[in-house]
Amino acid sequence: MPTIRDRILEYLKRHPEGADDDELTAALGLRRRQEANNYCRQMVQEGLIERRSAGGKIRNFAKGATPSALVKPEPKEVHSEDDKPWFWEGNVQARVEQHLRDRGYTILRTADTAAHERGKDIEAKKGSRLLWVTAKGYPVGTTSTPRNLQAGHWFKDAFFDILVWRGENLDADLAMAMPDFLRYHKLLEKVQWIRPHVNVEIFWVCENGSVLCDTRK
């Protein structure tokens, strides 16, 4: 099982924009800010991370992160409907589906993302455990709707799916699948308090195709 040190280092490697102690505390579900502060100071002495001022706050960076990397890059514009980017919902769904197969799940059903089919995006089973997944991509944005605003709407839709499904089945395992963008991490931090009540797992799909699991309850 990964230690807190391992989780901090993994999080910082995935976020070259760095994170302050408060952000690490919320993102990793630590009990108090001082816990993150103590670990980070120790890891600085061991040469694993750096602490430096950025944007008026002391932030932690994995060794090698550039000082100017304060904002995670937004996805590139897409100019063709046939040229789907890695963060498109269908690609997120496909990556998580393969990830589940690799973990021994049987895929019972998948929604047709391209046709905007409603319902559960992935229904899977492992042994007697049923898993329902709601998947979201990351918006390209339009002249009338900024990406961050649209991403907020999509996140709320996904979280509402989880709340409704928990009411349908108290025993099913539930998960949200999203591309690994800072905006979604920030939104998730705001609702961490409710996760123990709904028991939701998070699948983060990265640009390189890997899937990272946040199983905190």
* Residues 185, 136 share a domain: yes
**Are 68 and 131 in contact, with CB atoms under 8 Å apart?**
no
* Residues 101, 15 share a domain: no
200 is a domain residue: yes
* Beta-strand pair 173-179/129-135: parallel
**7, 19, 62, 145, 183 from 13: Cα distances, Å:** 10, 10, 6, 30, 17
Predicted confidence at residue 78, as pLDDT, reads: 38
* Residues 99, 173 share a domain: yes
Contacts of 53 (CB under 8 A, 6+ apart): 59
CATH number at residue 189: 3.40.1350.10
189 is a domain residue: yes
147 is a domain residue: yes
* Residues 207, 104 share a domain: yes
CATH number at residue 22: 1.10.10.10
* Residues 123, 43 share a domain: no
First and final C-alpha spacing in the chain? 15
pLDDT tens per residue, the chain (217 residues)?
A: 778 889 899 999 988 888 888 888 888 888 788 888 889 988 998 889 998 877 667 889 998 755 443 434 444 443 333 468 999 999 999 999 999 999 999 999 999 887 788 889 999 999 999 999 999 999 987 777 788 999 999 999 999 999 999 999 999 999 999 999 999 999 999 999 998 889 999 999 999 889 998 866 5
Predicted confidence at residue 1, as pLDDT, reads: 72
* Residues 130, 31 share a domain: no
Predicted confidence at residue 45, as pLDDT, reads: 86
| Whether this model's pTM surpasses 0.75 | no
Counted domains in the chain: 2
Predicted confidence at residue 65, as pLDDT, reads: 59
Which range marks the domain in which residue 189 is found?
A: 89-214
**Are 143 and 169 in contact, with CB atoms under 8 Å apart?**
no
Which residues is 57 bridged to in the sheet? 54
* Residues 19, 182, 29: CA angle, nearest 5 degrees: 55
Predicted confidence at residue 82, as pLDDT, reads: 46
* Residues 97, 41 share a domain: no
**Are 99 and 141 in contact, with CB atoms under 8 Å apart?**
no
Contacts of 71 (CB under 8 A, 6+ apart): 17, 182
100 is a domain residue: yes
